């Protein structure tokens, strides 16, 4: 280490665990040299300056960890220098040295954020070394603290980036899922509409039956405050007889009363229907309607002889309007009943075949008089993915 007036321009290695970079500033050559020797021996990389101006030039060329500076110098004083070098992040630690007005300078120096104070002439080498070690310890802790803060900031930034990319991925996946669900809803609705048409194509005498059942069920559901079941009810009503696809023509289209075995075959449509709707994406919820729309409040219906509230409410609704539509439609073996007669039969059977609450809503609010206009068919509304009546 050069301990004379010639300067070395080391960069601080202390931050990387190396030697501390020290600047000694004093206009007294002997003190400057003495101190430089002591500090170099203690492991510092020492530069020296004979004035405040020279010190600022050296600091501009390379940072220092510690600065030992005299107070009374020609030109920039030590205290002024203190104010000008306490910049940077972190600024160097400053030890102020003076032989004049001890207490007064000490107080002013420490208020000016010097880390320590040395009186000249030095009491002993130990006092110099003690000041050096205190300043060095403070500096090392400060650098360690800065390093931890930087690591923390980097870790936070990394986390923020990861969160951001997770957020992006989540949004992408959500959008993808929504698109799939929309496609599925359209596909399901198209499937349901095709199935409903297929059922009606099998039995032209019932033309429009499934659609009318859906129409009235939908209105009753709303009147009964079943908004959350609305979609299930519409699809289930539309598909309630889908199992008739599996009923042979000689039974389905028989122009007369069915015998016992034929009735058994006809009744199987609820089980066949259940198997079909279970296989359609998004239609599993309609199973309860398809399977149970021929149950009776008294427990005498089929297939499970469920009674009263054990029958899903949507199936009870479909059961009422299904029977009403059958009564008011002309079949090969009988003519349609007048509306009033069909209503009378509903009233007669409410409480044992039909849910009284459903019949009351259907009859008292005269929903049975409302009829879908025009040749009903399902249209696929792309935006909403919902069933809509269209003329």
Q: Which residues are catalytic?
A: 244
Binding to Fe ion in span 70-89, by CB under 5 A: none
Size, binding site for Fe ion by CB under 5 A: 2
Torsion of CA 294, 197, 359, 260, to 10 degrees: -30
Q: How far is the CB of 167 from Fe ion (least distance, A)?
A: 50
Listed in sequence order, the DSSP H helices in 253-312 are 260-267, 269-279, 287-292
Q: Which of residues 151-180 bind Fe ion (CB under 5 A)?
A: none
* Contact criterion met (CB below 8 Å) for 24 and 48: yes
Structural element, H or E, at residue 140: helix 125-202
CA angle 110, 116, 134 (to 5 degrees): 145
* Residue 200 vs 322, nearer CB to Fe ion: 322
Binding span for Fe ion by CB under 5 A among 224-232, 235-243, 343-351, 376-384: 235-243
265 to 294, contacts with Fe ion by CB under 5 A?
A: none
Q: How far is the CB of 230 from Fe ion (least distance, A)?
A: 20
- Judged by CB, which is closer to Fe ion: 229, or 322? 322
Per-residue interface string for the shown chain with Fe ion, residues 296-325, x marking contact by CB under 5 A: --------------------------x---
Cβ nearer to Fe ion, comparing 302 with 389? 302
In DSSP notation, 308-338 reads GGGS-HHHHHHHHHHHHHHHTS-BTTBPPPP
* 241 scored as a contact of Fe ion (CB under 5 A): yes
Nearest residue to 66 (alpha-carbon basis) of 10, 139, 158: 139
Residue with tokens 């039956």: 209
Nearer to Fe ion, 218 or 322 (CB): 322
* Signed CA dihedral, 330, 333, 337, 343: sign only: negative
Pick out residues in 88-117 that bind Fe ion (CB under 5 A): none
From residue 320 to residue 339, the character string flagging contacts with Fe ion as x (rule: CB under 5 A) and all else as - is --x-----------------
Q: How far apart are CA 280 and CA 192, in angstroms?
A: 8
Judged by CB under 5 A, the stretch of 20-28, 84-92, 236-244, 248-256 that binds Fe ion is 236-244
Compare residues 313 and 320 and give the one whose CB is closer to Fe ion. Answer: 320
Q: Applying CB under 5 A, does 355 fall inside the site for Fe ion? A: no
Q: How far is the CB of 294 from Fe ion (least distance, A)?
A: 6
Distance CA(259)–CA(75), nearest Å, equals 124
Interface residues with Fe ion (CB under 5 A) are 241, 322
């Amino acid at each position: 280490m050069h301990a004379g007036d010639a300067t070395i321009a080391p960069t601080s290695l202390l931050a990387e665990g190396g030697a501390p970079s020290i600047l000694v500033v004093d206009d007294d050559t002997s003190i400057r040299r003495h101190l430089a020797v002591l500090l170099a021996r203690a492991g510092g990389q020492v530069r020296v300056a004979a004035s405040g101006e020279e010190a600022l030039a050296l600091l501009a060329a390379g940072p220092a960890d510690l600065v030992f500076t005299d107070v009374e110098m020609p030109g920039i004083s030590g205290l002024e220098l203190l104010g000008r070098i306490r910049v940077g992040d972190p600024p160097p630690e400053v030890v102020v040295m003076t032989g004049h007005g001890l207490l007064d300078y000490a107080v002013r120096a420490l208020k000016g954020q010097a880390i320590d104070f040395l009186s000249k002439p030095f009491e002993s080498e130990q006092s110099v070394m003690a000041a050096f070690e205190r300043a060095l310890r403070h500096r090392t802790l400060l650098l360690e603290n800065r390093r931890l803060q930087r690591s923390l900031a980097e870790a936070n930034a990394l986390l923020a980036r990861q969160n951001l990319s997770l957020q992006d991925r989540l949004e992408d996946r959500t959008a993808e899922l929504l698109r799939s669900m929309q496609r599925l809803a359209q596909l399901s609705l198209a499937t349901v509409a095709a199935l409903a048409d297929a059922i009606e194509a099998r039995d032209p005498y019932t033309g429009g039956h499934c659609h009318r059942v859906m129409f009235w069920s939908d209105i009753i559901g709303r009147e009964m405050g079943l908004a959350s079941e609305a979609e299930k009810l519409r699809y289930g009503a539309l598909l309630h007889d889908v199992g008739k696809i599996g009923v042979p023509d000689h039974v389905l289209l028989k122009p007369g009363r069915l015998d016992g075995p034929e009735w058994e075959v006809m009744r199987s449509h609820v089980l066949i229907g259940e198997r079909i709707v279970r296989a359609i994406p998004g239609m599993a919820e309609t199973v309860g309607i398809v399977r149970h729309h021929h149950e009776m409040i008294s427990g005498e219906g089929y297939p499970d002889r469920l009674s009263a509230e054990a029958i899903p409410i949507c199936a009870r609704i479909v059961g009422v309007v299904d029977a009403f539509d059958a009564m008011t439609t002309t079949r090969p073996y009988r003519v349609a009943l007048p509306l009033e007669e069909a209503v009378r039969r509903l009233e007669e059977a409410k409480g044992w075949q039909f849910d009284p609450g459903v019949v009351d809503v259907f009859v008292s609010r005269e929903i049975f008089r409302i009829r879908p206009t025009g040749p009903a068919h399902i249209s696929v509304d792309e935006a909403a993915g919902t069933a809509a009546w269209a003329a």
